[in-house]
Structure 1
C-alpha cells in the first residue's frame, strides 16, 4: 500500500488521485478531520496523524509499503522537527520506502530560509536505514504566477531583487506526475532526481511571457534586496518576509537556474514549458 501525506494539499491530492486512478492500493494522510473531508470525494482510505505526535505517525504508517512524504511549510524550526518525527516514525513502523519531496537548493552555503530544513531531512533519511527516493523540486511555476505575476498584472511592474537571475520553473502538476511515477516504480530506490522545467528564463523573459499570455503590459524592474525585504515586512507575516527574501538571494546566486533532464527520464516526456503553463492557467481563470 502507498500512503501519501499532505493529501488535502495540491501536490499530495494530485499524487493520490493519479495513483488511485492507476489502480494502486493507496491511502491519504491528513492532519485532522476537517482536512479529511476535503479528500473524501476520491474514495480512498484516509489516515489522520499529528506531525508533533510520534505515536500517531507510527499508527498511520503501519502496513505502508511506500510513503510519499510531501514536505510541509511554516516556521522552519517546527517543520524541521516535524520532518524528523515523520522519518523516525516511518522507520519504526517499518515503511518499505520513503519517497521524499525536497528542493534543489540544499547546499550548505545557501542562505534560503528553508534550506536547513530540507538538508536535515535528507540527512536523516539517508541515515535511517529505510529505503528511500528523493525528488528535489525546482521553483514552482505556480509560485511565480501566484506571488509575482498576478500582482504585476495588476500594477504593470514585477519588482524583485533579481537583476539578471534565471530560473527553470516547473509546474506543480508535473511535480505530482513525477512523484506518482517514482512511488509506483520499482527501480527508483536509492536515487535522487532533480525536477526542473525544460528551460531557464530571466525575469525579463518571464515578465514578457506574462504580458503576452494575459494581454497586459508587464515590466520587470530590479530593486535592491533591502527594498524588497522592507516591502515584504509590510505585506506578510513571519516567517514569510525572510523566507521570500532569502529565496530571492538564492535565485540571484543561480541556485534555481540549473536545468535537469531527470523529469524526462522519469516520465518519458519533457515538463511543461513555462509559457505553456501560463496559457493553461490563463484559460482556467
Structure 2
C-alpha cells in the first residue's frame, strides 16, 4: 500500500445525519471496522445543521467520503438548494465520494440525485422508501405501543426495507470498490400492506396492534395537532399510490445476499422490549 493511499485512509468519513436511523448504524459499522468517522449532527463539533450552513465547511474539511441523509426529506422545499451547497463545499474540500440516501419514487428526490451525480466526485445513490424502523424508532413507536397505527395509506402495499440493510449498503459504497456510479433501489423481500405489518407486529409482541386508515384531511389535522410538517401528507399519498409496490434486487446487487424480512425485524424489535407497554 502506497503512502498516498495510507494517508487517504487516515482521513475520516463524514456521516451527515449520524445520529439518525441509518446514520447511527453506519457510524457503528465504520467504527467496528476501524474506519475513522466524523459524525455530522447538530450536537457534534463541528456541527452539521441542515438549517444553519455555518458549520458545513468545517464538517467537510479533510474527509475522504461523505454519507448524506437530508432531514426531514428530500421531497421537502429547500432540499435541492441545500444539497447543491453541500456538493459545492464537498468538491472544494477535496471529498472523493458522496453517498446519498434518496427517496424511492419521489420526483423531488431525483432532482437531488442529479445534483450529486453532477458534483464532480464519485457517487452512489441509495434509494429507499418505508423503513421497518419507522414502527420502532421515533415516528410510529408510540402508535404501536398504543395499539393503533393511523396513516393515510389506504390498502397500499409497501416493500418495507430494514435500516440495517440500508446501512450495510451505504458502508459498502463508502469503503469498497465497485459501487461508484450505482443507483441501488432497496426493498425488503415481500410486499406488505399496513394491515399486514400491524399483524406481524401483533404476532411478534403478543399485543393487539391495528392499522387505522385515515383520509388525507384527517392525517393533516393530526400532524397539525402534533406540530409536524403537513408536507408529510403529500409525501405519503404520493409514495403510497402504488408506484413503489414492486420488489427490487438492490440489496442483493450491492451485498450479494437477501434483504431482511419484516417478520424477522418485528421479532427482533419485540425481543428488544421497545414495544413493551409498562
The verdict on a shared fold, with TM-score over 0.5 as the criterion, is yes
* RMSD, aligned α-carbons: 2.5
Distance 2:48 2:154 in 1: 43
User: Which of 220, 227, 232 lines up with 1:237 in the alignment?
Assistant: 227
Look up the match of 2:62.
Answer: 63
Look up the match of 1:203.
Answer: 194
User: Which of 39, 43, 65 lines up with 1:29 in the alignment?
Assistant: 39
Distance 1:199 1:130 in 2: 35
Once the two structures are superposed, residues 164-206 of structure 1 have per-residue CA deviations (whole angstroms, 9 ceiling, x without a partner) of 2101111222211111111111111111101111111012211
Shift of 1:55: 6.7
Distance 1:53 1:223 in 2: 35
Kept in 1: contact 2:150–2:211 (CA 8 A): yes
Distance 2:41 2:136 in 1: 28
Distance 2:140 2:49 in 1: 33
Cα separation, partners in 2 of 1:183 and 1:203, compared to 1, 3 Å: same
Is the deviation greater in 268-277 or in 8-17? 8-17
Structure 1 spans left out of the alignment, 5+ residues:
37-45, 108-115
Cα separation, partners in 2 of 1:274 and 1:50, compared to 1, 3 Å: closer
Cα separation, partners in 2 of 1:265 and 1:159, compared to 1, 3 Å: same
SS in structure 1 at match of 2:77: helix
What are the equivalent positions in structure 2 for 1:108-127 lying under 5 Å apart?
116=108, 118-127=109-118
- Pick the structure with more helix per residue: 1
Look up the match of 1:90.
Answer: 90
- Give the length in aligned residue pairs: 260
Look up the match of 1:111.
Answer: none
SS in structure 2 at match of 1:282: helix
Look up the match of 1:40.
Answer: none
Look up the match of 1:6.
Answer: 17
Once the two structures are superposed, residues 52-73 of structure 1 have per-residue CA deviations (whole angstroms, 9 ceiling, x without a partner) of 6667433432332222222222
1:166 equivalent in alignment to 2:189: no
Structure 2 spans left out of the alignment, 5+ residues:
1-10, 274-278
Kept in 2: contact 1:51–1:85 (CA 8 A): no
1:263 equivalent in alignment to 2:251: yes
Cα separation, partners in 2 of 1:257 and 1:89, compared to 1, 3 Å: same
Distance 2:54 2:223 in 1: 38
Distance 1:228 1:125 in 2: 33
Give the structure-1-normalised TM-score. Answer: 0.80
Kept in 2: contact 1:73–1:79 (CA 8 A): no
Shift of 1:232: 2.9
Shift of 1:79: 4.2
